[in-house]
Amino acid sequence: MSFDASLVGRFLKGDKRACARIISIIEDRRRGYEEYMEALQPHVGSAYIVGITGPPGVGKSTLINRLAAEYLHAGCSIGVIAVDPSSPFTGGAVLGDRIRIGEIALDPKFYFRSLSSRGSLGGLSEAAVDVIRVMDAFKKEIILVETVGTGQNEVDVMRACDTTVVVTMPGAGDDIQAQKAGILEIGNIFVINKADRDGCERTLRELQSMLMMNPLNDKYETPIILAKSNIGEGIAGIKAAVDKHRAYLETSGWFSVNRAERNARAFKNIMNLKILDEINRRLSRAANYEEIESQVKSGALSPHRASVQLMEYIDKKILHHSTNE
Amino acid sequence: MSEKIKVLIAKPGLDGHDRGAKVVARAFRDAGFEVIYTGLRQTPEQIVNAAIEEDVDAIGVSILSGAHNHCFSEIMNLLKHNSIDDIMVFGGGIIPDDDVAYLKSIGVAEVFGPGTPTDDTVKFVKANVRKGNE
């Protein structure tokens, strides 16, 4: 499929179907998707991006539904991107985050899109970051990004957000503990959801003591908000906390520093993936690739020895060949 | 990354029996599809809006309440109203033969009754969506 300028034209006029189609092209990395990113680039940059992460079952989807409604009520247009894991075996996925969207689903200022992580080959974060940019160009003022928050891929998605909200619930202290490498550092706002459950006090104390280990910042104190999203309690507080963090980023100068770093990181990640794809493509055409692979399978050749052989091939045939072109 | 076939599994109407919808959703997942599951009691407007936002290839509608003629014709009308002709609609549930003929006449691709092996449904969708035939 080649680049369709009329699709971009419809997109810029606010056509939801055009937006949906462009997201698919970019998510699937279809041939020529870069041209769409390029065409949208001048329209990117005005959205504020809020990541919502936390273990399964803490109520992220319900919280997002309520928070989105709060923003819609305040007159903002909202995009939601919900990332769900796919099966590493079949690549299939059941994406169920729409279940929690209530009456706001049909609000013309609201757009919800599910993304699956599509196996473990990497590239999730790049695709998700690009989908964020598409929604940005689609004139969504606030974009909420939901992830389960485990694993490097999802931490990378959160690093593409301006403000990251980490959601937990009473009794899930161990989960936070287990995830603290990464999650505690990226959380700008913590929410203890389902706060009417037993053990809320204890979870609050645990979180407070964990946050005390973070480097001191006298300009911004990481808030912990108690919420009951199912009945809407705490949602206004979360929105206010996001506004406060945003104001801090903008006055301290971190906003533009973070965004510059994010752009650089996106560039580096995209390049790394493309280099890897290209080298793998050329390698798979190498005359003895299948032979080496079958020897590895049978155990006649160790994976390490095989990798050394292929690296020599890359060095001699691929890299050397290119420099002489 | 490659193109995946995306299916919206929707449950319109007031009945709360979503077991069939969930079994079918799971079968599609196991066959490598991406399934968007909307949950219970969706209006035709919500279903078509979700199909548009998620850019799906097919909509599978599970309905056991008896309101199938009404729900399906609403969905087909909304698709037509939005000039959408590349999303396949299929159905499942307890639907009398006479009604199946009517549903097909308004553009529903197929209706799978109780006892249909999930494999048959998966194969049918794979063979008949836009993406599978490109």
A218 or B98, which is more confident: B98
DSSP secondary structure letters along A98-128: GGG--GGGG-TTEEEEEEE--SSSS-HHHHH
3-state class of B79 per DSSP?
A: helix
**Residues in chain A within 8 Å Cβ distance of B31:** 90, 92
Q: What is the pLDDT of residues B17-31, one digit of tens each?
A: 778 888 889 999 999
Domain boundaries, chain B: 6-133
How close is the nearest chain B Cα to the Cα of A222, in Å?
35
What domains, with CATH codes, occur in chain A?
1-42 (no CATH), 44-252 (3.40.50.300), 269-323 (no CATH)
Res B94: pLDDT: 86
Average pLDDT per 10 consecutive residues for chain A, totaling 325 residues: 90 95 90 93 95 87 94 96 77 81 89 77 70 96 86 72 92 61 77 92 86 78 93 95 96 93 87 86 82 91 91 81 52
3-state class of A1 per DSSP?
A: coil
Q: What is the pTM of this model?
A: 0.87
Interface probe for A, chosen from B18, B36, B85 (most Cβ of A below 10 Å), is B36
- A93 touching B, CB under 8 A? yes
**Residue A279 backbone dihedrals phi, psi, to 5 degrees:** -65, -40
**Residues in chain B within 8 Å Cβ distance of A98:** 36-39, 50
Whether the predicted interface score ipTM is above 0.90: no
pLDDT for residue B81 is more than 80: yes
- The mean pLDDT of B57-83, rounded to a whole number, is 90
How close is the nearest chain A Cα to the Cα of B97, in Å?
30
Q: Who's near B124: CB < 8 A, 6+ residues apart?
A: B90, B109, B110, B112
CB A75 within 8 A of CB A107: no
Closest CA to B72 of B84, B90, B51: B90
- A115 touching B, CB under 8 A? no
Beta-strand runs (E) in A207-296: 224-226
- B37 touching A, CB under 8 A? yes
Res B116: pLDDT: 87
Res B40: pLDDT: 82
Q: Residue window 51-110, chain B: list those with CB within 8 Å of chain A.
A: 52-55, 82, 84
pLDDT for residue B1 is more than 50: no
Q: Residue window 11-30, chain A: list those with CB within 8 Å of chain B.
A: 16-17, 20-21, 23-24, 27-30
Query: Which secondary structure element, helix H or strand E, spans residue A80, and what is its range?
Result: strand A78-84
Chain A residue at shortest CA distance from B53: A20
pLDDT for residue B71 is more than 70: yes
Q: Is residue A199 packed enough to be buried (19+ CB in 10 Å), middle (13-18) or exposed (0-12)? A: middle
User: Could you tell me the fold of the domain covering B6-133?
Assistant: Rossmann fold (3.40.50)
Q: Who's near B93: CB < 8 A, 6+ residues apart?
A: B20, B62, B63, B64, B68, B113, B114
Mean pLDDT of chain A: 86
